[in-house]
Structure 1
Amino acid sequence: MTSSSVDRKKLYYVGNLSIFMIGLGFAVRANIAPNLQTDIYDKIDLANSASMVGEALGITFTGFALTLLFGSALVDVVGMKRMLLLSALGYIAGSAGLLMAALNPTGASVETMVLVSLLLTGLGWGAVEAAANPMVAALYPEEKTHRLNILHAWWPAGIVVGGLLGVAITALGLPWQLNMFVLMLPALVLAWMVASSVFPVTERVAAGVSYTGMIMELLKRPLFWVFWCCMYLTATAELAPGQWVNISLSNIVGMQGILLLVYVSALMFIMRHFAGPIVARISSVGLLFVGCLAAGIGLYLLSISTSPIAAFAAATVWGAGIAFIWPTMLAIASERFPKGGAVAMGLMGFAGGMAIQFVLPRMGAIFDNAKAEAAGGADKLAGLSPEAMAEVLRYASVESFQAVAVVPLLLLPVFGAIWLYDRSRGTGGAEVITQGPG
């Protein structure tokens, strides 16, 4: 394939749309989480319904992580085009499955349908990350951090659009299932755009690095595995609170939590366009250090906010902290370990996805345990007055959010040490591999 046959601008639009779609899906899941709890899981098990919602939302991240892991390893064989077509199919089929689940009587079969449908959207999400990230790294090898941050700016853009549409659907008293049709539309457009595009090979293939060489590059570089472990915590700081926001923060501050997620996402969309100049001043690892510090402070402030104004102020700190974390972690994997190819970026995304799979059910369990504690026992929940139940839910929400606030602070010594080491050497840590005839 010649470089002249690749339309770099069009492919960047394809990447932006694919990331927009998965951001939209994130907002849709946050929108419908309370509906799934009320319409399905409360009827199955009222005392453990939050844990069940957490498990259902978490399975999306399992699908994401597994597809990203294996998809990144196979993207050079399968091709970016097929991978992105698979992502569109996952979102279309997953949305249709949730619609079907809503039409059936509540029971074990419906619970299974919800899990399978959310798993399908997770598989589609992973396929996007497996293809879009190495595609942009190959298209813009000279400015990876900047371009990957702009690419992932369309993630919060999708959250803004999906969140606002979800609020409108709720405000107008329309069926919550309309959120599924909102998610289907960009998936259909993406499938059409991908089918008519020509895609490049990955940076690793273009440089002539063998598959074995790619694997060996990662095995012999312990610093990669340090960043890989860090990805579990950085993803937890960003994604777990965002997916839980409409359940928890709605109880804490007395407003729709999805509005806070929309606000934070709009902030992230703007900030990610300025990653390049910031990195030029403090480096990618320096950006992660500052981001984790702000994220930890912001999450704690969110958990103790008692009014919408305080919540928006705390959300500003949290949003500024997490704005650059995910794309910068991916960029670091590509910059510092370029021979690691798509697998290096895929492993980072896998770590992020699996972290949420573990964290969301844990947040749900903390929520349920605190709910039972505040009520004086799980058996007392059903007999509480609406006012008493509101206070119980608020207490449980604070507990579940404060448990996550410490996570990004654990990374400060790690990122701080790497940052100081890089500065002592006068380098940002990026490496370059020679491009072969591709």
Structure 2
Amino acid sequence: MDTQLTEKERKTLFWACFLSLAAAGFGFAFRVLKGGEYGGQLGLDNHEVGQIFGASLWPIAITMIGFSLIIDKTGYKWPMFGAFVLQLISAVGTCFATSYAQLYGYAILAGLGHGIIECVINPVTASIYNKQKTKMLTILHAAWPCGIVASGLLIISTSKLPWGYHSLWMAIPVVIYGVLFLKSKFPVDERVKAGVPYMEMLKQVGFLSAALASFLLIFEIGNQTAKLTTWELPANWFYISLGAGAAVGLLFGAVTKSIGKPLFFLMCLLMIPLATAELGTDQWISKLMRPVLEGMDVNPGFALVISAGIMMFFRFFAGNVLKFFSPPALLAISGILSAAGLIWLSSATSVAIFIAFVLYALGQTYYWPCVLGFVAERYPRGGALTLNTVSAIGLLSVGIIGGQLLGIAFDKSIHDGMTKDQPALVQQTEQDKNFLWMHNKTIDAKKFNTVVDELPETEKETAKADFTANDKKAGRDVLKYAAQFPIVLAIAFGFIALYFKSRGGYKPVELEASWE
């Protein structure tokens, strides 16, 4: 525990950090619960709604990794006020947005602010509670579901308000944490305090993880530049980005003379399915649960609130759970629970729905904070950079890959179903979609509505009924599809847990004792 700060100063700083992450949870809940509403009003398809959601996540990597490289010079306080301004502008601007481009732009501001927050609060918490890292990082990250629960309940209880007004709920925690940070005293980073050189921090990341982060960032910046400007994206942009990322990684590796820590790189890779299993599925959970809850007179938005509530409760009591399981063992168990829950949900009925849903929610509870705790405990020489790189890759990948994969799976399921029910209508309204190396056909929402409106009344009603039925079926299909991600996690973290067991058990690395 950092002895430079008093107990009161530690608590004030910790709860300010907590509220800043809760504010990001408010924004997340808004895009999940109101994405379908603003998508419908503005004529956006599921893929475009997914891109707006992704825009609030992938920019996090820019400020999270960028500030990790300079936080020693800037200190922690002033970057947090930058996050305050970005989040406030995003909340107010989204309220008055009237187009895809505006929603996308304000989502980017939210992402940039969120990146600064993550860059600061994770190393700050690891520094002021350096003997309880996994426990306190898990409690800190209870702020995320706490923000989702609070915002979700506010949105559901005031559902008659126009969708834009709900974005203003985020301003409440933003203003409060801004005031708390004004009077907070910040610690010296644990790595800096121990005298670990800056170059040693960079060596922990090395070529491997730098290449992965660079590839993801270059790929998405190119995608969005092409989307928002007249620049035409090359057909093989995925492979160009892969090569460019490898080149940046090689340069980073040459400067640091390090390939990086292989197990750290594996954790970065595993953040892709982990982020998809947690955040990507949560993005679509309201829509996924709509057909499952049909006939129960339950607002599907409660699915997200209940899931987040379970996560929040168990994260607050993480210390008790961690007495029995190491972080990798707990992550393996989490993968099994969330996979079982999603598979069960895809076919469950009646009371079984809620039992399956609790399994899913329990499974994703410890994903993110346990990875952060693992990295903080095993790679303390990496300081803010290793801690924030692994988190940034997760947030970057779910914005680029996870959320859009599930959105495309939704669109594909609807297209396949409508092809059987309304082949002539599909032929008139389908479009080609490209994502990563994959190609698929989806229904253009604007064309579909235009063509259907011109049909005779009887055919119009039939077409709309068929689309609604296939939309509901898609929810069940995607639940089963999403289960593959936690299955990967259960297997991978199971092997990591066995690896540590074969070496005498999992133990945190003590920085002072290990650095010479």
Say whether the fold is shared (TM-score over 0.5). Answer: yes
* Corresponding residue number in structure 2 for 1:37: 39
Shift in Å, 1:71: 2.3
Corresponding residue for 2:301? Answer: 258
Deviates more, 1:187-196 or 1:154-163: 187-196
Q: Does 1:359 align with 2:402?
A: yes
Which residue identity lines up with residue 279 of structure 2 in the other structure? L
1:249 maps to: 289
Q: Work out whether residues 33 and 246 of structure 1, in 8 Å CA contact, stay in contact via their aligned partners in 2.
A: no
How far apart in 2 are the matches of 1:203 and 1:302?
44
CA contact (8 A) 1:137 1:144 kept: yes
Query: Where do 1:275-354 residues align within 5 Å?
Result: 275-307=318-350, 309-354=351-396
The 2-side partners of 1:152 and 1:414 are apart by: 23
1:296-338, Cα deviation, whole Å (9 max, x unpaired): 111222233345x333222100111110110010011110001
- Which residue matches 1:107? none
Distance 1:14 1:200 in 2: 14
Per-residue CA deviations over 1:194-225 (Å, capped at 9, x if unaligned) read 12222112111111111101111333421111
Residue deviations 1:157-197 (CA, integer Å, cap 9, x gap): 11111111111121xx2222221221112111211211222
Q: Corresponding residue for 1:392?
A: 470
Provide the C-alpha distance between the structure 2 equivalents of 1:337 and 1:168, rounded to a whole number of angstroms. Answer: 44
Provide the residue aligned with 2:123 in structure 1: 134
Distance 1:311 1:81 in 2: 45
Kept after mapping to 2: 8 A contact 1:245/1:261: yes
Aligned counterpart for 2:82 among listed residues 82, 86, 94: 86
Q: Secondary structure at the match of 1:199?
A: coil
Q: Distance in 2 between matches of 1:314 and 1:195?
A: 44
Q: Which residue of 1 aligns with 2:182?
A: 195
Q: Structure 1: which 5+ runs fail to align?
A: 43-48, 103-109
The CA distance in 1 between the partners of 2:156 and 2:40, in whole Å, is 17
Query: In 1, Cα distance between the equivalents of 2:204 and 2:169?
Result: 42
Contact 2:13 2:180 in 1 (8 A): no
Question: What SS class does the counterpart of residue 512 from structure 2 fall into?
Answer: coil
3-state SS of 1:3 partner: coil
Q: Does 1:420 align with 2:486?
A: no
| One-letter identity of the residue aligned with 1:142 | K
Q: 363-372 or 326-335, which moves further after superposition?
A: 363-372
CA distance in structure 1 between the partners assigned to 2:505 and 2:353 by the alignment: 39
Could you tell me which of 161, 167, 170 is aligned with 2:150? Answer: 161
Structure 1 position 269 matched with structure 2 position 312: yes
How much has 1:406 moved relative to structure 2? Answer: 0.6
- The CA deviation string for residues 28-77 of structure 1, in whole angstroms up to 9 with x for no partner, is 111210112111134xxxxxx11110111111111122222212222222
Letter in 1 for 2:181: V
Corresponding residue number in structure 1 for 2:434: none
- 1:61 is aligned to 2:57: yes
TM (normalized to structure 1)?
Answer: 0.91
Distance in 1, Cα, partners of 2:337 & 2:482: 13
Q: Distance in 1 between matches of 2:309 and 2:129?
A: 25
Letter in 2 for 1:51: H
- Shift in CA distance, 405/180, structure 1 to aligned 2, threshold 3 Å: same
Unaligned stretches of 5+ residues in structure 2: 207-259, 430-447, 453-459
Are 1:185 and 2:175 matched, yes or no?
A: no
For 1:292 and 1:213, the matched residues in 2 are separated by 33
Out of 196, 221, 227, which is 2:267 matched to?
A: 227
Match of 1:52 among 48, 53, 60: 48
Q: 1:407 aligns with which of 479, 485, 496?
A: 485
| CA RMSD after TM alignment | 2.0
| CA shift for structure 1 position 2 | 8.5
| 251 and 120 in structure 1: CA distance in 2 versus 1, 3 angstrom threshold | farther
Specify whether residues 392 and 223 from structure 1 end up closer, same or farther in structure 2 by C-alpha distance, changes over 3 A only: same
2:492 is aligned with what amino acid? V
Distance (Å, rounded) in 1 between the aligned partners of 2:188 and 2:33? 37
1:2–1:314 distance in 2 versus 1, CA, 3 Å: closer
Separation in 1, partners of 2:513, 2:175: 35
- The answer to whether residue 191 in structure 2 is matched with residue 204 in structure 1 is yes
SS in 2 for 1:177: helix
The answer as to whether partners of 1:169 and 1:178 remain within 8 angstroms in 2 is no
How many Å separate the matches in 2 of 1:402 and 1:55?
22
Does structure 1 retain, via aligned residues, the 8 Å contact 2:139–2:316?
Answer: yes
Corresponding residue of 2:254: none
Name the amino acid aligned to 2:381: K
Which residue is 1:25 aligned to? Answer: 27
SS of the residue corresponding to residue 434 of structure 1 reads helix
Counterpart amino acid of 1:318?
Y
Deviation at 1:285, TM superposition (A): 0.9
Q: Percent identity?
A: 28
Q: Which moved more, 1:409-418 or 1:283-292?
A: 409-418
Structure 1, 298-307 or 161-170: larger mean CA deviation: 298-307
Q: Counterpart amino acid of 1:323? A: T
Q: How many residues align?
A: 420
| Equivalent AA in structure 1 for residue 61 of structure 2 | A
Aligned residue in 1 for 2:14: 12
Q: Determine which structure has the larger helix proportion and give its number.
A: 1
Corresponding residue for residue 251 of structure 2 = none
Summarize deviations over 1:338-366 as a string: whole Å, max 9, x none. 10111011111111112212121222222
